[in-house]
Amino acid sequence: MRITTTIVVALFSTLTAVACTTAQNGQVPNGAKIIPLNYLPALSGDYFELLSKETGRRYHIYIRLPESYFKAPPETRYPVVYLLDGDSLFPILATEHLFLNIDEKLPEAIIVGIAYGSFDPLINKRDVDFTAPADGVKPEYAGAPAFQRFLKTELIPAIERRYHADSDRRVLFGQSRGGSFVLYSAFTDPDLFWGRIAANASFKADGDRYFQDAPAATRRDLGLVVTSGTRDRPQLREEAVKWFKHWDGVTGGAWTIKTVNIEGGTHSADSANSYRAGILWLFGRIPVVP
């Protein structure tokens, strides 16, 4: 009975501390219930907060663990998919990966959602974190270099220290501004991720950087998938078509490039289609017809 009481008190203290921390961050109103995701098995896994020294921001890191995670031999290592805009994309794409594993035999993976904890612009700084230095961009708004350092020196080491992660098969997914950051990452640090998927990105936000020669990489198995919805915003669609033509048939760069048109796809609502096309191509299960 004493042991049970101790456990209950410790659990209550932990939950209270989490609730107070979240409330102080202004992301959950005082008195709001914190509901665990473990009761949604398609999303269950883990969660932790990470205060970045590189960006000065607190991130909420959601983890979806494979169903076989606790049954597999301890030496088993899983690919890791890092999702930008985890506030919205984690519940969509973590579940999509589960369904692709069921239907297409896609390898199980650890899914990492990088969230801000709010859509409030005072808290959600995706407009800064995903913006690369360019002419006309104020330095204080060009946060992509610092955000990439956060990924490389803080988040990725934390994930690979905590979980059975395969460091040779990291994947980065981003949509819209997040897609632009995926391109920035591909052109500035190609070896950091084995695979990248950029959905409905802006190809001109950073000048002509993404129309220039590919950088050098030490690995020869890197893949870059770029998708564009045929009903995306007209300017973005036009930029995508030009980029597709520019890189069509180009070989010998840092990565193998796959361009995919999402037929009828709009700017925001087709993230699962972009993810499906990109992740299946990266893992070589099904050829994607552009």
Residues 51 and 176 in one domain: yes
> Could you tell me if residue 289 is inside a domain?
no
Same domain, 158 and 232: yes
SS3 261: strand
Together in a domain, 154 and 107? yes
The answer as to whether 229 is a domain residue is yes
Q: 256, 274, 255, 275: which is closest to 264 by C-alpha?
A: 274
Phi first, then psi: give them for residue 191, nearest 5 degrees.
Answer: -75, -10
Q: Is residue 18 part of a domain?
A: yes
Q: Check if the beta carbon of residue 95 is closer than 8 Å to that of residue 43.
A: yes
Task: Give pLDDT tens digits along the chain (290 positions).
Answer: 333 333 333 333 333 333 333 434 445 666 778 777 778 999 999 999 999 999 999 999 999 999 999 999 999 999 999 999 999 999 999 999 999 999 999 999 999 999 999 999 999 999 999 999 988 889 999 999 999 999 999 999 999 999 999 999 999 999 999 999 999 999 999 999 999 999 999 887 777 889 888 888 999 899 999 999 999 999 999 999 999 999 988 877 789 999 999 999 999 999 999 999 999 999 996 555 55
Question: Is 227 found in the same domain as 102?
Answer: yes
**Could you give the number of structural domains in the chain?**
2
66 and 44 both lie in a single domain: yes
At 251 the pLDDT is 76
Is the same domain home to 148 and 223?
yes
* CATH number of the domain residue 180 falls in: 3.40.50.1820
Strands (E), the chain: 45-51, 58-64, 78-83, 110-115, 165-175, 195-199, 223-229, 256-262
Q: Are residues 247 and 127 in the same domain?
A: yes
Q: Which domain holds residue 242?
A: 39-282
The H-or-E segment that residue 91 falls in is helix 86-104
DSSP 51: E
Pair (24, 90) in one structural domain: no
What local confidence, expressed as pLDDT, does residue 288 receive?
Answer: 55
Answer yes or no: do 62 and 21 share one domain.
Answer: no
* 124 shares its domain with 155: yes
Q: What are phi and psi of 195, to 5 degrees?
A: -135, 145
Asked whether the CA dihedral 48, 49, 52, 58 is positive or negative, the reply is positive
Q: Is 288 part of a structural domain of the chain? A: no
Contacts of residues 9-13 at CB distance under 8 Å and 24 or more positions apart, as own/partner, are none
Quick check: 281 and 170 in contact, CB under 8 A?
Answer: no
Within a domain: 184: yes
Q: Are strands 45-51 and 223-229 parallel, antiparallel or unpaired?
A: unpaired
Output the pLDDT for position 249.
Answer: 83
Considering the domain boundaries, does residue 139 fall inside one? yes
Q: Is residue 290 part of a domain?
A: no
Tell me, what's the pLDDT at 22?
40
Are 5 and 77 in the same domain? no
HSE at residue 145, side-chain half, CA atoms within 13 A, is 7
Cβ atoms of 97 and 106 closer than 8 Å:
yes
Based on the domain organization, do 103 and 234 belong to the same domain? yes
Residue 177 lies in a domain: yes
Q: Is there a contact between 247 and 225 (Cβ–Cβ < 8 Å)?
A: no
